Structure 1
C-alpha cells in the first residue's frame, strides 16, 4: 500500500478549499459578500500567502474566538428562480449562509461563536426576527410567502463582527 506524504495530503486538501473571485464587487461591498452561488466559499485566501479580504464590520483583533469577519450569501436551498439579481419569487425558501473568518484567513467551523441572525422586512413574525446559535459557520432559512425587501444580519456577539445581505421577494 502506497503512503501519501504531508505534501500530498495538503495538495489534495487544497482542491477542496472553496475560493471566491479576487475581484472587487461594489454590490458585495455595500451588502456584504453576497453571492447567488452557495459554493463560492470564503474570500479569505490566507493559506496561499495572498492578501485576505474581510467583509462587513470587523470583529475585535483580541476576540477570544478569533473571529475577524463574517462572509454571507443568500441561501436558496430549493434553487428558486431569480426574477432578477437579488429578487426571488414569493413562496420561496430563502435565507442566509455564513462562515466566520479569522485574521489570517481560515474559516472557523465550530461552536465558539455566539451568533445572532436578525431578519428584518415587512410583516416578519416576532419569533422569526431573531435566531441565536453558537455555530460559527452555518445556514438559516425561512419561508417567504409575501413580497417585500428583506435584510438578514449575522453578528458574532463575542467578537463584534457582523455582515448582512439584502434581497427582495416579489
Structure 2
C-alpha cells in the first residue's frame, strides 16, 4: 500500500510539474480535477498543494500568473488558482450549470516553491461576469491558501482574480455558466 501511494505521489508530481495549475491535468480521472474544468471540490490533499509545491524534474519551481515583488514581507512569489465547484458537475471542461455554487480555490507559494498556508496575506478575490451582485464583486481575506464560492444564477462568462496586495502576486481563472 505504501509503495502504491508513493508511486501515485511521484506520478502526480511529474504530471503536474509540466502544466499550469489553472488547467486540468492528466490525473483528473484519478483524483478529480484541480483545473479550470473542475468537476468537484478538487482532489486529494496532494493535488491541493499545486504543482509548484510538488516540485519538478528541474531544480527551479514554476510560478504562474503575475509574480510578487521579491521584497514582499510575506514572501509570496505566485498564486495558483483552480475553478472550484464543490457540489456541481461540469457540463464540459470549464462550463458549469447555472444556479450552482462556483468559485475559485487558490494557494500561494514562495520563491522556493512551498505553499504558504497561513493568514499573512491580504487577498482580494474579484468576481466579474453577468449580473454579479455588488457585495460579491470583491471579497477580502488574509488567508494565503483557501477557496471562495458564489451562487451564480445568470448564464455567461465569468472571471475570478485572486491578488495578494502585500506582494502584488495575482492569478485568475475564467469559466462559463449555462
User: Per the shorter chain, which TM-score range?
Assistant: 0.7 to 0.9
Larger-Rg structure: 1
- In structure 2, the partner of 1:74 is 83
Which of 151, 155, 172 is 1:147 aligned to? Answer: 155
Query: How many positions carry a matched residue from both structures?
Result: 150
* Cα deviation digits, residues 2-60 of structure 1 (max 9, x gap): xxxxxxxxxx9xx6xx84612245x74xxxx7462623231113598743010100000
| Distance (Å, rounded) in 2 between the aligned partners of 1:76 and 1:34 | 10
Q: Which runs of 5+ in 1 are unaligned?
A: 1-11
User: CA 1:76/1:87 → structure 2, altered by over 3 Å: closer, same or farther?
Assistant: same
The equivalent residue for 1:111 is 119
Q: Structure 1 segments of 4 or more deviating over 4 A?
A: 46-49
Aligned-residue CA RMSD (Å): 2.4
Q: Which structure 2 residue ranges, 5 or more long, are not aligned?
A: 1-5, 24-34
TM-score by length of 2: 0.76
Q: Does 1:64 align with 2:73?
A: yes
- Paired residues of 2:79 and 2:169 also in contact (CA < 8 A): yes
